[in-house]
């Protein structure tokens, strides 16, 4: 049998839980303190600013709720369906914990208020008994719990009316009360921090989203009504307190309302009702948030089980009861109270950003029947996070740190969701803006990054080449792993299969790269097509990477690729690897990078840029970087040594240098081979190609043969219209 949800309406399902949490302990025990310390004008400003944040959040909730079918889980459901499973969990888990531990605060507050009449009652015992009774009510019937809240609402209304129509209370001021120092120790934000929890009660109504008959109608109407009614009650109550009492009792007497009310006992009944209703709201909301998290496989599956008739989350209720009980045993929870408040504000901020970003990117799927400007929602998000840091910056960092940690753990778990979210649309929106902006800017050496086009063939056989390029890029530039299918006809299935397997292989090895499969009659033709047609606007490859070859036919193809890339001002890197330098081989120690220097110009500046980026990567950070050069006589040797010394000092490159003296009858390549034979990576320059391809092919074969004993060589040809030497200024 499929469980049926409850069919609560706007009033009982949203308005009552929200308004009862808003008209809570702050109203009865702290509003007088706020008015006494802040004065009437600042109090009005604090109430208005606090309510503005909640009102904008309510508007954002209304917009989001009228655009989608709202399921159980309240804020978690709305956030996860907008931003995705991982961000939803990162906010939903702390939010649930705040809701569950919030139960502890409310029942302890109720127990402490009873001590006014019964001082001998132990707070912990009374809190436990209260928790057990209220949990039993919500466990067996959420409908009965909400009906009880109706009676509590009536009691709170009567207590507020008793206060509103009360009499002035202005006792003689005590001699030790210095009115000139009122509010001096707090200021606007200190008093705001005390008051703000009063307006965060809309979470109680949002959490009931899965038990509403018509969430799209009830959530906007009930939430906004609760915010507006709460604002009017607080503003009028502040005005009455200011007019009916002097400053001293407002600050010193937390129960000042009992001195003003027509029937003082009714104020106590309202206070008890407020703490009990807040407890009931948390006991209804927290398990439903947990149930939604479990349904999305973030928490164990048994927590998602609900009753057959109304889908009440009994297993989640029991767990919430245990957490709340642990909270009571902790005793004084003031040390973490502000951190828990931060989680509520974090969820409100996320709700605002969800609605704001949906409106900003304006996907066709965004069609809310209650529409507000995306700028208003984004403003609400910034106000939420701004208020967090104004209240307590330390607690804000802890809350945000917890959210980031949970998000990271969720990414590691790699839980798959069966719904779509906003991330693709958001990425498209900002990518479009950034690409157009890049298109209007000129590329310069200061901001240069390699955008690699790697002709890998099978990525499994050339993974070390991909891995080295990815290491050099520092995850900052773009990288495309390309394969060329040699065929005179287009086989779509073969192309699709190769693209899928390449993406899976890269993902498995945690390589962030694009993939491109193209068909051509030859490798050089395919490379030429890619260089000519691949990319969008300014986001095109600026450096092509290919492996070496010993086959004469393939050498001819390589030379064509070098010529094509040079003519198109695309840098070329040819990787010749006698020993594949992978993550496994470099862990054995002895990492050395050599750059063969012929003055800081031409290929050398690009070679040194790439070598520096390789050395400063996490894998090669401890490698030894050496600039090496060859001189024909002693005088030239001294000149090169001075030039290298001056360059390394001025450029701040962490490297050493060596200059070798070449005897007349010695080939330069023999010095290179001997000096760099133990180095892991050797950077060498390629000369510019000319139209005589056979001659250049002979040159290509010669340098490959002369460096045959080296482990891994990067042959580099600078072709891009960038002054790479400016990088080292």
Q: What DSSP assignment string belongs to 457-483?
A: SSTTTTHHHHHHHHHHHTTTS-EEEEE
Is residue 439 a part of any domain in this protein? Answer: no
| Residue 557: pLDDT band with limits 50, 70, 90 | confident
Are 393 and 466 within one domain? no
Closest C-alpha to 453, from 391, 517, 400: 517
Relative to beta strand 712-717, strand 571-577 is antiparallel
Please tell me the total count of domains within the chain.
Answer: 2
Q: Are 696 and 664 a contacting pair, CB within 8 Å?
A: no
Is residue 1 a part of any domain in this protein? Answer: no
Are 334 and 468 within one domain? no
Whole-prediction pTM: 0.69
Closest C-alpha to 455, from 385, 375, 374, 558: 558
Q: Is the pLDDT score of 589 beyond 60? A: no
Q: Is 269 exposed, middle or buried (0-12, 13-18, 19+ CB in 10 A)?
A: middle
Q: Are 8 and 234 a contacting pair, CB within 8 Å?
A: no
Are 531 and 649 within one domain? yes
Q: Identify which has the larger pLDDT, 446 or 451.
A: 451
Is residue 267 a part of any domain in this protein? Answer: yes
Q: Are 439 and 538 a contacting pair, CB within 8 Å?
A: yes
Q: Is the pLDDT score of 457 beyond 80? A: no
Is residue 683 a part of any domain in this protein? Answer: yes
Q: Kindly state the average pLDDT of the residues 40-62.
A: 91
CA–CA separation, 244 and 426 (whole Å): 54
Are 409 and 450 within one domain? no
Q: Kindly state the average pLDDT of the residues 380-402.
A: 86
| Residue 3: pLDDT band with limits 50, 70, 90 | very low
Q: Are 242 and 24 a contacting pair, CB within 8 Å?
A: no
**Three-class secondary structure of residue 67 per DSSP:** coil
Structure tokens at 178: 């210095």
CA–CA separation, 512 and 473 (whole Å): 11
Q: Kindly state the average pLDDT of the residues 652-658.
A: 91
Mean pLDDT of the chain: 83
Q: Kindly state the average pLDDT of the residues 436-455.
A: 82
Q: What is the dihedral of CA 506, 511, 516, 520, to 10 degrees?
A: -70
CA–CA separation, 549 and 722 (whole Å): 29
Closest C-alpha to 136, from 127, 126, 125, 144: 144
Q: Kindly state the average pLDDT of the residues 331-352.
A: 69
Domain of residue 190, CATH code: 1.20.1740.10
**656-661 β-sheet, strand order:** 514-520, 479-486, 452-455, 543-547, 571-577, 712-717, 681-685, 592-596, 624-631, 656-661
| Helices and strands per DSSP (H, E), number in the chain | 28, 10
CA–CA separation, 23 and 230 (whole Å): 7
Is residue 452 a part of any domain in this protein? Answer: yes
Structure tokens at 51: 């309510």
Q: Kindly report each contact of residues 123-128 with a partner whose C-beta sits within 8 Å and lies 24 or more positions away, as own/partner.
A: 124/328, 124/329, 124/331, 127/328, 128/325, 128/328
Q: pLDDT tens digit string along 140-176? A: 766 666 677 788 889 999 999 999 999 998 887 776 6
Token pair 């919430």 is found at 320
**Three-class secondary structure of residue 414 per DSSP:** coil
Q: In this predicted structure, what is the pLDDT of residue 383?
A: 92
Percent of the chain topping pLDDT 90: 22
Is residue 4 a part of any domain in this protein? Answer: no
Token pair 């709170």 is found at 156
- Report in angstroms the alpha-carbon separations of 590 from 585, 623, 684: 10, 8, 20
Q: What are phi and psi of 166, to 5 degrees?
A: -80, -170
Q: Kindly state the average pLDDT of the residues 566-592.
A: 72
Closest C-alpha to 528, from 606, 453, 610, 448: 453
Closest C-alpha to 204, from 318, 113, 103: 103
Are 654 and 549 within one domain? yes
* The last residue of a domain, from among 372, 397, 413: 413
CA–CA separation, 556 and 568 (whole Å): 19
Domain that holds residue 587: 445-728
Q: Bridge-partner residues for 169, per DSSP?
A: 245
Are 159 and 266 within one domain? yes
Is residue 190 a part of any domain in this protein? Answer: yes
CA–CA separation, 370 and 216 (whole Å): 9
Q: Is the pLDDT score of 290 beyond 70? A: yes
Kindly state the helix (H) or strand (E) to which residue 681 belongs, with its residue range: strand 681-685
Are 393 and 457 within one domain? no
Residues with Cβ within 8 Å of 638's Cβ and at least 6 positions away in sequence, in order, are none
**Three-class secondary structure of residue 432 per DSSP:** helix
Are 251 and 393 within one domain? yes
Distance of CA 565 to the CA centre of its chain: 39
Are 560 and 614 within one domain? yes
Is residue 429 a part of any domain in this protein? Answer: no
Q: pLDDT tens digit string along 517-526? A: 888 888 888 8
Are 408 and 458 within one domain? no
Q: Identify which has the larger pLDDT, 379 or 618.
A: 379
CA–CA–CA angle 358, 363, 367 (5° rounding): 75
Q: Is the pLDDT score of 184 beyond 80? A: no
Domain of residue 673, CATH code: 3.40.50.12370
Q: Is the pLDDT score of 432 beyond 80? A: no
Alpha helices (runs of H) in 330-473, residue ranges in sequence order = 334-361, 374-391, 393-413, 423-439, 463-473
Q: pLDDT tens digit string along 408-431? A: 888 888 777 666 666 777 777 777
Are 409 and 490 within one domain? no
Q: In this predicted structure, what is the pLDDT of residue 88?
A: 82
Are 535 and 456 within one domain? yes
Q: Is the pLDDT score of 492 beyond 50? A: yes
Residues with Cβ within 8 Å of 77's Cβ and at least 6 positions away in sequence, in order, are 70, 71, 88, 209, 210, 292
Q: In this predicted structure, what is the pLDDT of residue 266?
A: 92
């Amino acid at each position: 049998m499929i469980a049926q949800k409850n069919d609560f309406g706007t009033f009982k399902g949203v308005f009552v839980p929200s308004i009862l949490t808003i008209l809570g302990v702050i109203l009865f025990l702290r509003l007088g303190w706020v008015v006494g310390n802040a004065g009437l004008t600042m109090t009005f400003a604090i109430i208005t600013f606090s309510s503005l944040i909640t009102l904008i959040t309510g508007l954002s909730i209304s917009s989001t709720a009228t655009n989608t079918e709202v399921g159980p889980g309240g804020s978690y459901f709305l956030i996860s369906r907008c931003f995705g499973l991982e961000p939803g969990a990162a906010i939903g888990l702390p939010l649930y914990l705040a809701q569950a531990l919030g139960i502890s605060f409310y029942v302890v507050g109720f127990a402490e208020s009873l001590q006014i009449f019964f001082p001998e009652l132990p707070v912990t015992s009374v809190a436990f008994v209260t928790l057990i009774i209220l949990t039993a009510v919500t466990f067996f019937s959420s409908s009965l719990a909400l009906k009880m809240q109706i009676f509590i609402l009536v009691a709170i209304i009567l207590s507020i009316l008793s206060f509103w129509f009360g009499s002035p209370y202005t006792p003689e001021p005590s001699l030790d009360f210095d009115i000139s120092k009122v509010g001096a120790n707090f200021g606007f934000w200190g008093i705001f921090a005390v008051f703000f929890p009063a307006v965060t009660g809309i979470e109680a109504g949002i959490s009931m989203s899965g038990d509403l008959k018509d969430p799209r109608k009830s959530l906007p109407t009930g939430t906004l009504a609760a915010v507006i009614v709460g604002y009017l009650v607080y503003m009028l109550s502040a005005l009455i307190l200011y007019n009916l009492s002097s400053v001293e009792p407002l600050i010193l007497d937390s129960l000042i309302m009992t001195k003003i009310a027509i029937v003082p006992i009714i104020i106590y009944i309202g206070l008890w009702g407020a703490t009990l209703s807040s407890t009931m709201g948390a006991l209804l909301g927290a398990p439903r948030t947990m149930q939604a998290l479990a349904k999305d496989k973030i928490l164990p599956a048994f927590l998602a089980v609900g009753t057959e008739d109304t889908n009440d989350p009994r297993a989640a209720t029991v767990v919430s009861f245990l957490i709340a009980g642990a909270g009571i045993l902790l005793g004084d929870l003031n040390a973490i109270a502000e951190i828990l408040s931060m989680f509520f504000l974090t969820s409100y901020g996320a709700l605002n950003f969800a609605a704001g970003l949906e409106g900003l990117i304006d996907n066709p799927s965004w069609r809310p029947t209650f529409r507000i400007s995306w700028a208003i929602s984004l403003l609400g998000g910034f106000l939420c996070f701004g208020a967090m840091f104004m209240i307590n910056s330390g607690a804000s960092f802890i809350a945000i740190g917890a959210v980031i940690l949970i998000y990271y753990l969720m990414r590691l778990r790699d839980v798959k969701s069966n719904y779509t979210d906003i991330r693709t649309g958001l990425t498209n929106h900002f990518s479009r803006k950034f690409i157009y902006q890049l298109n209007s800017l000129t590329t310069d050496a200061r901001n240069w990054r390699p955008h690699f086009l790697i002709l890998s063939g099978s990525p499994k056989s050339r993974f070390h080449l991909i891995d080295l390029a990815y290491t050099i890029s520092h995850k900052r530039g773009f990288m495309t792993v390309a394969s060329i299918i040699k065929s005179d006809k287009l086989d779509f299935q073969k192309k699709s299969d190769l693209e899928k397997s390449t993406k899976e292989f890269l993902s498995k090895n945690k390589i962030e790269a694009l993939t491109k499969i193209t068909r051509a009659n030859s490798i050089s033709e395919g490379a030429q097509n890619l260089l000519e047609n691949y990319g969008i606007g300014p986001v095109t490859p600026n450096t092509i990477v290919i492996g070496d070859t010993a086959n004469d036919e393939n050498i001819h193809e390589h030379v064509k690729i070098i010529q094509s890339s040079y003519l198109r001002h695309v840098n070329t890197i040819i990787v010749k690897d006698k020993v594949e330098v992978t993550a496994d081989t470099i862990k054995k120690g002895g990492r050395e990078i050599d750059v063969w220097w012929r003055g800081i110009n031409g290929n050398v500046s690009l070679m040194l840029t790439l070598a520096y980026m390789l050395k400063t990567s996490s894998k090669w950070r401890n490698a030894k970087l050496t600039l090496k050069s060859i001189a024909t006589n002693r005088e030239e040797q001294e000149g090169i040594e001075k030039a290298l010394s001056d360059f390394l000092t001025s450029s701040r490159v962490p490297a050493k240098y060596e200059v070798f003296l070449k005897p007349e009858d010695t080939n330069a390549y023999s010095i290179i081979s001997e000096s760099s034979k133990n180095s892991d990576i050797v950077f060498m320059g390629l000369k510019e190609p000319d139209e005589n391809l056979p001659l250049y092919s002979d040159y290509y074969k010669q340098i490959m043969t002369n460096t045959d004993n080296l482990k891994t060589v990067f042959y580099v040809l600078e072709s891009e219209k960038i002054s790479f030497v400016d990088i080292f200024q």
